[in-house]
Amino acid sequence: MLKDITIGQFFPGESILHRLDARFKIIITAIFIAMLFSADSVIGLVPGILFTALCYALSKIPFRLMLKSLKPIIPIILFTSVLNIFFLDGVVLFRLGFIKITYDGIEFTIIMMIRIATLIAGTSLLTYTTSPISLTDAVESLLSPFKKLKFPVHELSMMMSIALRFIPTLIEETDKIMSAQKARGADMESGGLLHRAKALVPILIPLFVSAFSRAMELALAMECRCYQGGEGRTRLKELHSRGSDYLAICVSLLFLNAAILTDLLL
Amino acid sequence: MSTVIKTENLTYTYGLGTPFEKTAVKDVNIEIEEGELCGIIGHTGSGKSTLIQHLNGLIKPTSGHIYIDGLDIWDKAVKIRDIRFKVGLVFQYPEYQIFEDTVFKDIAFGPKNMGFSEDEVKRRVEESAEIVGLKPETLLRSPFELSGGQKRRVAIAGVMAMEPKILILDEPVAGLDPKGREKILAQIKRYRDQKNATVLLISHSMEDVARFTTKILVMEGGGVFCYDTPPKVFGRASELTAMGLAVPQITRVMNRLKAAGIELDGDIYTVEYAAKKINEYLLKHKSES
C-alpha cells in the first residue's frame, strides 16, 4: 500500500548519524553524490557502496527498510536500463534485425543500475535520520549567504518544511480516498493504460479539493498567529557544529578521494 | 436468522517489520446475525476502524479468517470485488470522496462499477437519494456547492445505491448538528428495513447507539470486550466507565436514582423507557400513600 513508501520519512533514533548537525549531513550527501558520479567503472563505485554500508551500519536503520525504499524505484531503473542497453553504440555483442546489444551498453547499464540504487539508498538516509524541522533549518542556514542578494531564503525553507510536513498527511489522505473508492467498486489494478489513467480521476479530484482547503486553513491559521516571515524570528533548536561533524566531513572526503583514485588507477 | 459475518482469530498488525509496528486488531472472534443493526463502540485506537475495513476486504488480515455469508473472503475462488459489492463501507467523513460534477453521477459511480444498465443505475440512484432525503432537483447540482450535511448524504447514498446486503458506516453522523444526526440515523434504519440489510455502525454517542441498535459490539485494545444487546451491555455500566467509555446519560441518571434508594427495576437506557418507568413508580407510590 501507499503507507509502505518510506522515501522522505524520518525514523527517530539516537545514533551517531542522527546526532550529526543537519547542515553537515546535507554537505556529506552532496559529497556522496559526487562520489557516485565521479566513477565511470564498477570498481570506481565500490567506495560509494562501502560508504553507504558504513552509514547504514552507523545509523542503526534496519537493512530491510533500505530494501523497501528501493522497491518503488525498480520500474525507473528497469526502464532506463532497457533504453541504455539497446541504444548505446560500441562493440556489438548480439544483433537481431535493428535491435543490437553492445558490450559497452551492458557495462554502462550495470554501472547505472548500481549507481541509481546506491544513490537512492544513500540519500534516503538523510531524511531517515534527520527530522524535517532540522532539515529545513539546515537548508535555511546553508542558503543564508544568498539573503544578501535579496533571495527569499526563509520563505523558501518555510515552503520546504510545509511541503515535507504534508507528505505523510497527503499519503494518508490518498490511502483513505483510494480505500473509499475501492469500496465503491473502483478498479485500479486491471485494465489498459487509458483505463488506469481514468481510474485515477476519482482519487485525484478529492485529493486536490482537500489539499486546497487544507492549504487555505493553514494560511489562515498562520495569519491568525501573526506569521510574517523570517525577520527577527528566533528558534527553539539552534544548530551547533561539533568536532564529530568535522570528522564526518573528513571521512566522507576520504571516500570521495578513494572513489576518484580507484577510478583513475584501476 | 443466519450468520452473515463471522471472523475467526482475526489479527492485524500495521507496519509489520518497521519501528512503527502496531497490532491494531487482536484475535477477534465475532458472529453477526442477518438483519442486525449493530453498534460498534470503543475508545479511539481500539481497532474499530481497522476491524470494519477487514470486513469488505480492504485490509488483508495478518492472520485469521473472515467469512461473509459463509464464504472465506480471502479464499482463492472468491473475487474480492464481489465481496465489496456485498459489503458496502461508508468511511468517516465520506464527503471527502466526492468527485463527480453532479450529485447524480457521484451516486451512480458505485452501481456503474457493478456493471448495471443505465435504467437500473438510474433506479438505484433515485431510490437511494430518496432514502437519504435528497430532493430530485438536487441530483442535477454540483456536489461541491452543497452544505456539509447534504454532502454527507450524497456520499452515503453513493454506497447505498450499490444495495449492499451488509452496510457498514464509520461514524456516519460525526460533526453534524443534532437534527442532521437524527435524520441520517433514521435514514440508515430505513435502508435496513427496506432492503432487509444488516447494518454495522461505529459511533461515539452512547445515546445514538442505545436508541438505534439491536446489538452492541464493545471493543477494547484491539479485542472484543463484549457483544450483546443494549440492555445487557449498558447493564455493565461500571466496567464501561472503567474502560473510559460512557453509558447513556439517562442510564447514569437512573443508576443514581437506584443508588438513592428508588426502586426502578431493569436496565434503562433510553429516555422514553425511563419516563415510562418513572411514571409507573410515581403512580405506584401515589396509590400507596
CATH of the domain at B218: 3.40.50.300
Residue among B17, B84, B99 minimizing CB distance to A183: B84
Could B99 and A183 be called an inter-chain contact, meaning their C-beta atoms sit closer than 8 Å? no
Predicted local confidence at residue A181, as pLDDT: 92
Burial class (CB in 10 A: 0-12, 13-18, 19+), A227: exposed
| CA gap B193, B197 in Å, rounded | 7
Cell of B212: 438505534
Whether residue B23 contacts residue B11, with contact meaning beta carbons closer than 8 Å, is answered with yes
> What is residue B22's three-state secondary structure?
strand
In a domain, B235, yes or no: no
Predicted local confidence at residue B103, as pLDDT: 95
- Domain assignments of chain A as residue spans, ordered by start: 2-265
Q: Compute the nearest-CA separation of A87 from chain B (Å).
A: 40
In a domain, B144, yes or no: yes
* Crossing angle (nearest 10°) for helices B249-259 and B271-288: 30
Residue among B98, B99, B113 minimizing CB distance to A185: B113
pLDDT tens sequence across A193-250: 888 888 889 999 999 999 999 999 999 999 999 888 777 777 777 778 888 899 999 9
Query: Does residue B153 sit in the same domain as residue B253?
Result: no
The pTM is what? 0.75
The C-alpha cell 447534504 sits at: B150
Predicted local confidence at residue A6, as pLDDT: 58
For residue A158, the one-letter residue type is M
Residue among B91, B96, B113 minimizing CB distance to A186: B113
Burial class (CB in 10 A: 0-12, 13-18, 19+), A99: exposed
Could B96 and A179 be called an inter-chain contact, meaning their C-beta atoms sit closer than 8 Å? no
Query: Does residue B264 sit in the same domain as residue B144?
Result: no
Helix (H) or strand (E) holding A213: helix A193-224
Predicted local confidence at residue B156, as pLDDT: 94
Q: Compute the nearest-CA separation of A101 from chain B (Å).
A: 41
| CA gap A224, A217 in Å, rounded | 10
Number of neighbours of residue B160 by Cβ within 10 angstroms = 29
Predicted local confidence at residue B63, as pLDDT: 92
| Per-position pLDDT tens, chain B of length 289 | 688 999 999 999 987 766 678 889 999 999 999 999 999 999 888 899 999 999 989 999 999 999 999 889 998 888 888 899 999 999 999 988 899 999 999 999 999 999 999 999 999 999 999 999 999 999 999 999 999 889 999 999 999 999 999 999 999 998 888 888 899 999 999 999 999 999 999 998 888 888 889 999 999 989 999 999 988 888 888 888 888 887 888 888 888 888 888 877 767 788 888 888 888 888 888 877 6
Whether residue A157 contacts residue A140, with contact meaning beta carbons closer than 8 Å, is answered with yes
> What is residue B97's three-state secondary structure?
helix
Quote ipTM for the complex: 0.84
Query: Does residue B280 sit in the same domain as residue B220?
Result: no
- Distances from the Cα of A161 to the Cαs of A136, A140, A166, B140, B195, in angstroms? 6, 10, 9, 41, 50
Query: Does residue B64 sit in the same domain as residue B206?
Result: yes
Query: Does residue B194 sit in the same domain as residue B70?
Result: yes
Query: Which position has the higher pLDDT, A35 or B289?
Result: A35
Strands B63-68 and B71-72: antiparallel
Query: Does residue B181 sit in the same domain as residue B257?
Result: no
Q: Compute the nearest-CA separation of A11 from chain B (Å).
A: 8
Query: Does residue B58 sit in the same domain as residue B201?
Result: yes
Query: Does residue B71 sit in the same domain as residue B200?
Result: yes
Q: Which chain B residue lies closest to A201 (C-alpha atoms)?
A: B99
Query: Does residue B252 sit in the same domain as residue B151?
Result: no
B110 lies within 8 A of chain A by CB: yes
Query: Does residue B7 sit in the same domain as residue B108?
Result: yes
Range of the domain at B269: 248-289
Tell me, what DSSP letter sits at residue B135? -
Q: Return the percent helix, strand and coil in chain A, to nearest 5.
A: 75, 5, 25
A66 pLDDT higher than 90: no
pLDDT tens sequence across A2-24: 555 555 678 888 888 898 999 99
A94 pLDDT higher than 80: no
- Distances from the Cα of B265 to the Cαs of A46, B128, B272, B274, B284, in angstroms? 81, 42, 15, 10, 13
Query: Does residue B145 sit in the same domain as residue B260?
Result: no
| Number of independent structural domains in chain B | 2
Could A180 and B84 be called an inter-chain contact, meaning their C-beta atoms sit closer than 8 Å? no
In a domain, B243, yes or no: no
* Crossing angle (nearest 10°) for helices A42-59 and A103-129: 20
Whether residue B176 contacts residue B184, with contact meaning beta carbons closer than 8 Å, is answered with yes
CA angle A33–A39–A40, rounded 5-degree value:
135
Predicted local confidence at residue A263, as pLDDT: 79
Cell of A202: 476519482
Could A205 and B88 be called an inter-chain contact, meaning their C-beta atoms sit closer than 8 Å? no
Query: Does residue B202 sit in the same domain as residue B253?
Result: no
Could B99 and A3 be called an inter-chain contact, meaning their C-beta atoms sit closer than 8 Å? no
Residue A1's pLDDT band, with cuts at 50, 70 and 90, is very low
Predicted local confidence at residue B153, as pLDDT: 93
